[in-house]
Amino acid sequence: MIVNLTFLKLNLHFRPLEWVRAGHKWAWVKLAAALYELGPLSAAPHREPTPKQEFIPHGTLKLRVLAGEIQLIGTTITINNPPTLLLAPPTHPLPIITATTTTNNNNNNNNNNSNNQTTGTLDPTKFNAILQLEDYHCGIQALDSLWSANTNKPSIWSSPNTNHTWSNSITTDMTPLRLPTSWSTSLSNIQLNNNNNSLYLIEGPKATGKSTFSTLLINTLLNSYQQVALLDLDPGQPILTPPTLISLHLLQSPILGPSFCSLVSPHQPSSHSIYIGHTTPKDCPSKYLDACSELINLYTNSQLSASLSTNYKRRRPAHRTPTNQAHHNSHKRSDQIPLVINTMGWTRGLGQNILNQLIQIIQPTHIFNFSDSPPVANIHSTPLEPIGTTPLSLRITPADSRILSILSYLYSTPSPSTHFFINQWDFQHPLWARRPFEVRPDQIMLPDHPDFDMHHLGHVLNGTLIAFVSRSQGSWIGFGLVRAIDPTRQTMHLLTPAYPTHEQNTADYQFVKYSEPELPIVCSLSDGQVPYLEKNTLRANSNGFSTLGSERKRIRRNVQRRSQISR
């Protein structure tokens, strides 16, 4: 059987085609025309696309469409797109690559001679899509040497294939990203009905799939718009930033990876983050709402700028030869920037009151609801079913996700090219081996401890994470690990991926220290095994028996004292 979705892997070590028929992996072959079973290429008939033609990779890879087009996490990728980076850890739901049911003839006609030579003997007219898959060495897989070696956590990037950075071998502990019916229907309706000034708000309790649906919605909208705005109001588990931040991003490329693999690079002019200092706004509701209002105003200004820029371009058309990327964006709208709002999972008590105030401030045009709360008047609401709990959700907890985001941020390295997302990491060397930069702060703010004795400031800050924000704009610039403090010179050495650029003046930096985030303990164990440190927790053994007191403590809130009952 020859399936219509074909993948091409170019490698220096080629093997004969008959080795694939013997059961070897097709990824090691120069030309492979089947995913599951392989027949003679010469006798491959043209067949209509059938359902369940899927390719599910995991690992880090770079893909490029040589013919046709594919669907990946809501986004459409054609031959006009640049090479796409895909980071898919096995501990998270794996992306599913499918070919579109109808091949775009214009895309095939625009294919240049180099792509025709690359496809070799494969005829693009007989297949819905042809891909080029390459290993992508970015350093993120070395995270396991720090994550699993010093904790009892499972490996993030465990893979039986040590010669390649990716694989398509699916084991029982891996789960593909299967969308519920309500999700697929809602995303299809949005792609068909693109309204002006669309503001989509996603709300619901935690662990229902709000962040996943927000990512799919953004990628779907990017198929029709040149820019899509993300207003991330979840400081506990943000999509594109480390925790304790709320942010606004103007995206031009899709999000293809979990949060710790899709962090925004430092000093991005199209991103604006505000440091809250807490993973939940329960201790600072007023400050949280003020920050949300500030981000909404920034989006309004960006929306106005996009509309004015489009009108100017219509009056003065550009006479240029379109490139592949320009041709890819030519059919996309640039006069509007739709907004996707990702909210926090705190939907009870004060959290629900904060959410109601946010709805009044934002005035969304559409609400995707994961809860059973009544719909808001004059706002179109769509109920969505939760994505459901899987064994994977028990492996990576929200606290683990926050630690992974901090690790990914601290161990990231500046990229020579201006990528919007961080795409290079260095886990081979400890943090203290990096070169710090020296600052002389005139003041360090401790909002959570206003009565703190500043004489003990050096003992408190040394070895902790501190945030530095812009005095003029009030936006978050980055987190820094305080490596050392020189009290005589009144200077501080910081380790951070957000090193100041030539255009920036460190005198504009204002340093703020809240209670969160904290430096993960694994950052202090990067040299290997530490003596006299017990890191194995008490868990149930293979016989189902566990040590008394090792289970998680549960608090009963249905039995209260009379003084605790609200009247």
Give the Cα separation of 61 and 317 in Å (integer). Answer: 38
Asked if residue 98 lies in contact with residue 181, where contact means CB atoms within 8 angstroms, the answer is: no
Give the Cα separation of 398 and 279 in Å (integer). Answer: 11
The pLDDT value recorded for residue 235 is: 96
The pLDDT value recorded for residue 49 is: 41
The pLDDT value recorded for residue 507 is: 74
Q: What are phi and psi for residue 200, nearest 5 degrees?
A: -105, 125
The model's pTM: 0.82
Give the Cα separation of 216 and 286 in Å (integer). Answer: 31
* CATH node for 431-525: 2.40.30
The pLDDT value recorded for residue 2 is: 36
Asked if residue 211 lies in contact with residue 237, where contact means CB atoms within 8 angstroms, the answer is: yes
Question: For the chain, what are the domain ranges?
Answer: 5-167, 181-394, 431-525
Question: What is the Cβ-side half-sphere exposure of residue 216, based on CA atoms within 13 angstroms?
Answer: 25
The pLDDT value recorded for residue 327 is: 54
What's 425's DSSP letter?
Answer: B
Residue type (1 letter), 475: S
76: tokens are 């459409």
Q: Is 15 helix (H, G, I), strand (E, B) or coil?
A: coil
Longest CA–CA span in the chain (Å) reads: 82
Topology of the domain comprising 181-394: Rossmann fold (3.40.50)
Q: Calculate the alpha carbon distances from 411 to 79, 142, 432, 523 in Å.
A: 33, 11, 11, 10
Give the Cα separation of 565 and 487 in Å (integer). Answer: 51
The pLDDT value recorded for residue 159 is: 59
Angle between helices 210-221 and 181-192 (to 10 degrees): 30
The pLDDT value recorded for residue 251 is: 95
249: tokens are 């991003």
Q: Mean pLDDT for each 10-residue chunk of the chain (567 residues)?
A: 38 30 32 30 39 81 89 92 92 90 51 50 77 90 82 73 77 87 92 78 92 96 94 96 96 95 92 94 93 94 73 50 54 89 92 93 93 77 84 76 95 80 91 87 82 79 90 90 86 88 74 90 72 55 55 68 62
Give the Cα separation of 232 and 288 in Å (integer). Answer: 12
Q: Lay out the sheet containing 465-470: strands in order across.
A: 437-439, 491-495, 476-486, 465-470, 509-512, 444-445
- Pick from 477, 402, 473, 405: nearest CA to 439: 477
Give the Cα separation of 298 and 93 in Å (integer). Answer: 33
Give the Cα separation of 141 and 166 in Å (integer). Answer: 10
